[in-house]
Structure 1
Amino acid sequence: MTTRPPFEFVVDRAHAHAVNEVVADTRRLRVIAFVVTVVLGLGTAWLIWLNHPYSFLLAVAFALGTVTALFVALWSPHRARIEKLYAEGELVPAIVSDRNPRGALLLALVNVAKSGAAPRYALITRTVRSLPGHRSWPGEQIPSVTVRADRAPLSVGGLRQTVGAMPIAWGTRDPDVLTRAREAIPEAEWKLLADNRSLAEKVRTADFGRLLLDPHQLPEEMRG
């Protein structure tokens, strides 16, 4: 896998808000953050009302928690703005590795190196409930983009802690866009995923939910 320019397409916002599970996860996070904000805010007020020296110390801690939860509630919609996620994500291959009661298990190939560092490739998985525009049987090719959850400047071993995969199909109904995305990914990457489809369960239970690949075992086309 080599670095590719962002995959450009017009995001169908109505479609994305209906089916994109990253958007749904963000909505749930925002609701939880607002609930925590209210609970901690009421707790802060109650501790101040007690007018006890120890309660003021606890009130400070509760107040900090309230501010943090409110920040998450207000910031999360901007962080997960769907056009921003698709524009910033790197186009990557993913395939359906298996079906389970929760949906389809995707196996994706991603670069987990920090920006500017030498590439390090890994297999990751994601369970998805729906794949509009695709068949959900094993081996189906699902062009996706990376979603990087960690923004910290440092991480273990110079590698990103969390990298997810978000299907292009969650952002558009246009089959021509899906075809164009699929064709933009080299055949060597699709073949690598197909050859390693049996590793999906091992990847799902691995540390950080990823399985690092030995650079020396990558196809020649992907060592550049």
Structure 2
Amino acid sequence: MRRFEFAVDREHARAVNEVVADLRRLRVLAISAAVGLGLGSGFLIWLNHPWSYLLAVAFVLGAATALFIGLYTPHRGRVDKLYAAGELVPAVVSETNGKGATLLALVNLAKPSADGPRYALVTRTVRTLPGHRPRTGERVPAVTVRIDRAPTSVGVSDLWQSVSAMPIAWGTRDLNIIERARGAIREVEWQLLTDNLDLAAKVRHADAKRLLLDPRQLPEELRR
């Protein structure tokens, strides 16, 4: 896995990093749900009916799950940890509009247990891209954020269920760091994205929000 180390500017990331903002919203929703379910379970117990106790148990379990998510999210959402855990990948601006831009990224969906890489195209809509020019074809180095939504015992797979791209520019104001990250990515990867910019709309509207690439049609450098 290709890593990219740099000093994350936490103040800058809190202001512009949309992944961190999404995790912050998730935490607020989870804690609110935990409080609501906790109050609901208390009310059901107060009713003192056999059926209300059964519902109260379900509410308590739901509250415990929501509280765990709310407490775990800040640990998982530490921006420096996200950048350290991700793989450096290329992304290219495929479309711009008044509200932001769409990035087309090349990511490897394979887990460490897989036989080899499985490359796919994914898209991400962003509102801001500090340090970059908002134009089609702009090269945006990023790192991957990987998620398995289902428990590992359900449908075990060698591929990550969800992989998105988080721009390096969301973690630093330093243009030299962004340029160093851009240079650490092979030209063959940038060229592959540039050649497939017209697929961005297809990827964006796909059910899984990704398009697996046929290994046989990849450049030789990406087959290993």
Q: What TM-score results when the alignment is normalised by the length of structure 2? A: 0.95
Q: Which amino acid aligns with 1:115?
A: P
Partner of 1:79: 76
Pair 1:108-2:79 in alignment: no
C-alpha distance in structure 2 between counterparts of 1:135 and 1:150, whole Å:
33
| Residues in 2 aligned to 1:172 and 1:100: alpha-carbon distance in whole angstroms | 24
> In the TM superposition, what are the counterparts of 1:147-186 in structure 2 within 5 Å?
147-150=145-148, 152-153=151-152, 155=155, 157-186=157-186
TM-score, structure 1 as length reference? 0.95
Counterpart in the other structure of 2:63: 66
2:53: which partner in 1? 56
Matched, 1:208 2:205: no
Gap regions ≥5 residues in structure 1: none
- For 1:143 and 1:88, the matched residues in 2 are separated by 15
In 1: Cα distance, 2:95 partner to 2:156 partner: 30
Per the TM alignment, residue 159 of structure 1 is displaced from its structure 2 partner at its CA by 1.3
> What secondary structure is seen at the aligned counterpart in 2 of 1:172?
coil
Secondary structure in structure 2 of the residue aligned to 1:104:
strand
Structure 2 contact 45–53 (Cα < 8 Å) conserved: yes
Task: Name the SS for the 1:98 alignment partner.
Answer: strand
Within-5 A mapping of 1:7-156: 7-117=4-114, 118-150=116-148, 152-153=151-152, 155=155
User: Offset at 1:206?
Assistant: 1.2
**Runs of at least 5 residues in structure 2 that lack an aligned partner in the other structure:** none
**Is the 1:95–1:107 Cα contact (8 Å) retained in structure 2?**
yes
1:102 and 1:77 map into 2 onto residues whose CA distance is 28
Q: CA deviation at 1:157?
A: 4.6
CA distance in 1, matches of 2:170, 2:53: 48
Find the aligned partners of 1:221 and 1:144 in 2 and give their Cα distance.
Answer: 20
2:190 aligned partner: 190
SS of aligned partner of 2:107: strand
Structure 1 residue runs of 4 or more that deviate by more than 3 Å after TM superposition: 151-157
Q: Deviations over 1:111-130 (max 9, x none)?
A: 00112311100000000000
Give secondary structure in 1 for the equivalent of 2:101.
Answer: strand
**Whole-angstrom CA distance in 2 between matches of 1:100 and 1:153:** 39
Q: Deviations over 1:62-89 (max 9, x none)?
A: 0000001111111001111111110010
Aligned to 1:222: 222
User: Is the Cα contact below 8 Å between 1:102 and 1:127 reproduced in 2?
Assistant: no
Q: CA deviation at 1:101?
A: 4.8
Name the count of aligned residue pairs: 221
